[in-house]
Amino acid sequence: MIWQFDHRFSSYEGVESRSSTHLPETTEAQHADPCYQVLPWYWVAEEEVEGQLQDWDRAWLLGFRKTTNATNERTVVAVVQLRVAVGDKEPLLFLNQPNAAVSALLLSGCLNSLACDYVARQKLGGTDISHFCMKQFTVLAPRAFGEQTRKLIVPRALELAYTAWDLKPFADDVMAEADEALCDAILAQFADNRRATGGHDWSTAPSWVGRSTGFPPSSGTPIAGRCCAPSWMPTMPASTA
C-alpha cells in the first residue's frame, strides 16, 4: 500500500479477495485529490494502536517496506504516513529527537535515494529488509546536512510526501521545527509550484482538518517567515494493511 514518498500508493477499495498479492494502484485522479484516503483490509481498535504508540507523541509515522524483490524497480521504500496500525511488513522508525519531522524528511530522502538503493541491492541476499540490514545502509546523520543542503532537500521531500490533508499534522510539525530560512525555502517552493500549476483549492479541506495553520498558508498569510506550531490531531479510524 506504500511506495517511496507515497502513503496512498494502492488501496483495498473494491478488492473482494486476498488471493491476489497485487493491489490496484491509486489512479492519477485519486492522487490529485487531497481528500482521498486509501482503504485497508484489516482494522484495529484505536485504543490498541494508541497503547502501542504511547511513547510516540507525533500524529504521523515513518516506516519502510520490509519485503522486496530483485524484480522490483526500487529496493528500499521509505514513507511518512498516518498514525495508524501497520503489520510486520512495514517496520517503523522512531526518531527520538526534537526535530523529528525535519529529520524524517532527510532520512526518507536518503533511504529513497539511488545511492542507498544501489548499496541495498548489492547487500541483500533475500526478499526481506531486516532491521539489522536497515541499520547498515548508507544514510547521513542529521548533523551532516548543512543549511543549504537542508534548504535543497526538505522542501522537495515535503512536496513529495505531503500530498493529502491527512498528513497535515506532519507538515505542521515540519514548519514548527524549521528555522526561518528553511520555512522561507518551503513556502517559496510552495508558491512557485502554485504559480506553475494553479495549486489546490484549500477552501475544500475536510472538516477534520481544523483551523488553517502551519502549512499550506491560509489566504492572506505572508509567504515569508511564518512558522506555526501544530495545534491539532485529527480523529481518524485506526487501521492496518
Quick: pLDDT tens for 182-218: 999 999 998 898 888 887 766 666 777 754 455 666 5
Angle, CA of 105, 111 and 113, to the nearest 5°: 100
Domain residues for the domain of 181 are 28-199+208-240
Residue 85 in domain = yes
The verdict on residue 44 lying in a domain is yes
In the predicted model, what is the mean pLDDT of residues 33-59?
92
Hey, CA dihedral for 155, 158, 159, 162, is it positive or negative?
Answer: negative
Instruction: Please identify which residue in the block is written with the cell numbers 532527510.
Output: 106
pLDDT tens sequence across 94-142: 998 889 999 999 999 999 999 999 999 988 888 889 888 888 888 898 8
Calpha distance 49→181 (Å, rounded): 36
**pTM score, two decimals?**
0.83
- Does residue 58 belong to any structural domain of this protein? yes
Given the DSSP bridges, would you call strands 78-82 and 60-64 parallel, antiparallel or unpaired?
antiparallel
pLDDT given at position 227: 35
Question: For position 229, what pLDDT does the model report?
Answer: 32
| 64 vs 59: CA distance, rounded Å | 17
Instruction: Decide if 95 is inside a domain.
Output: yes
Judge whether 220 and 188 are in contact, CB under 8 Å. no
Residue at 67 is within a domain:
yes
Tell me, what's the pLDDT at 80? Answer: 97
Beta bridge partners of 128: 67
Query: Which residues are bridge partners to 3 per DSSP?
Result: 6
Average pLDDT value over all residues in the chain? 84
225 burial (CB, 10 Å; 0-12 / 13-18 / 19+) is: exposed
Instruction: Encode 50-63: b = buried (16+ Cβ within 10 Å), e = exposed.
Output: eeebeebebbbbbb
Q: What is the mean pLDDT of residues 45-68?
A: 94
Burial class (CB in 10 A: 0-12, 13-18, 19+), 30: middle
| Domains of the chain: total | 1
Choose the weakest-confidence range: 23-27, 40-44, 68-72, 76-80: 68-72
Whether residue 18 lies inside any domain: the answer is no
Q: Are 157 and 108 in contact (CB under 8 A)?
A: yes
Q: Over pLDDT 90: what percentage of the chain?
A: 55
Q: Are 67 and 89 in contact (CB under 8 A)?
A: yes
Does residue 218 belong to any structural domain of this protein? yes
In the structure, what pLDDT confidence band is assigned to residue 161 with cuts at 50, 70 and 90? very high
Residue 68 lies in a domain: yes
- Res 219 pLDDT > 90: no
